[in-house]
Structure 1
């Protein structure tokens, strides 16, 4: 199976493209400390009109779906307190919000965070939210299947551009917890 880099004409080291990403993402890549070398994080310029996974896969080929991941922001509520968290699952699955997420956050109720809050507090654009650069206090839940993918295509924080990173790098991000079963069949 090809790697995500095969789908794009130009793939550059992400550290050379910081000006193309929102501040929180650029800062996280600029101060990268993971065991995966920063030069293994790649940036590809993409058309913002096809930023959504289904459109991107339709444009580049169905094989890309197996190597793409989505990051969604969820809100867990308990006793009047709300905890925002990032959740990363492979694109052909969906986040188990009412099971795995709710249990992991110790929440009585969990749901997708309102778009304006997710965008406002992450500093990223809707349709481009990425786990790299999420606010420091947020838990980051990563499906174990994502960490098994040699290279995974994820958002870059904006609708224009994507990042290609080793799946195992996502397990090392601040606040990350790797969970089996976070992503469930759609």
Structure 2
């Protein structure tokens, strides 16, 4: 099957290739509910050596920059309490950590979670984190422009492979909050 975006000829419905996903992502696909059917979550096989956004876009074409998103894990701290959250923004932007994220989480300080924390808490590989399959009690902050994008390329939980998902599906994820201005242009 040809993917709806990109130059991928090997797109398959994610429910048909659960063995290629990390356990948290596979579990989320198995339990998928909502307006977007699970078979519209597509898996495409990709080279793990080019998983990072800049290299991936250079290889597959700059058009994908507008059709892909990054999921980053942040840690908000207020007093002794730390809140882990996911932020999903278009790849051409960066997360407004010290503005939108800090205010939304009610934290005094927010930083990107250390790699060990991010992979340990998500059960996913660094460089492949996706908002699909995150712990259900986490806030999943999604930039409104991601939801408005017809098809979005995002990590699959591993460095090998990506998911292509209808943008509106991100608004239905457990813990999802759609925010204007979460992603700001890279300067």
TM-score between both structures, scaled by the size of structure 1: 0.97
Q: What is aligned with 1:166? A: 166
Q: Distance in 1 between matches of 2:24 and 2:46?
A: 20
Q: Map residues 17-166 of structure 1 onto 2, 5 A cutoff.
A: 17-166=17-166
RMSD: 0.9
Q: Distance in 1 between matches of 2:4 and 2:119?
A: 26
Query: Once the two structures are superposed, what CA deviation does each residue of 1:36-75 show, in whole Å capped at 9, x if it has no partner?
Result: 0111110000000000111111111111110000000000
Is 1:182 the counterpart of 2:182? The answer is yes
| Structure 2 residue ranges without an equivalent (≥5) | none
SS at match of 1:110: strand
| Structure 1 residue ranges without an equivalent (≥5) | none
Q: Distance in 2 between matches of 1:129 and 1:58?
A: 20
- Counterpart contact for 1:4–1:67, Cα < 8 Å: no
Q: Distance in 1 between matches of 2:62 and 2:5?
A: 14
Q: Distance in 2 between matches of 1:95 and 1:151?
A: 20
Runs ≥4 residues deviating over 3 A: 3-6
| Deviation, structure 1 residue 137 | 1.4
Q: Distance in 1 between matches of 2:77 and 2:120?
A: 19
Query: Once the two structures are superposed, what CA deviation does each residue of 1:106-153 show, in whole Å capped at 9, x if it has no partner?
Result: 000001001100100100000000000001111000000000000000
Q: Distance in 2 between matches of 1:50 and 1:6?
A: 15
| Deviation, structure 1 residue 84 | 0.2
TM-score between both structures, scaled by the size of structure 2: 0.97
Q: Distance in 1 between matches of 2:16 and 2:5?
A: 16
Q: Distance in 2 between matches of 1:185 and 1:43?
A: 28
- Counterpart contact for 1:4–1:152, Cα < 8 Å: no
- Counterpart contact for 2:138–2:175, Cα < 8 Å: yes
SS at match of 1:7: coil
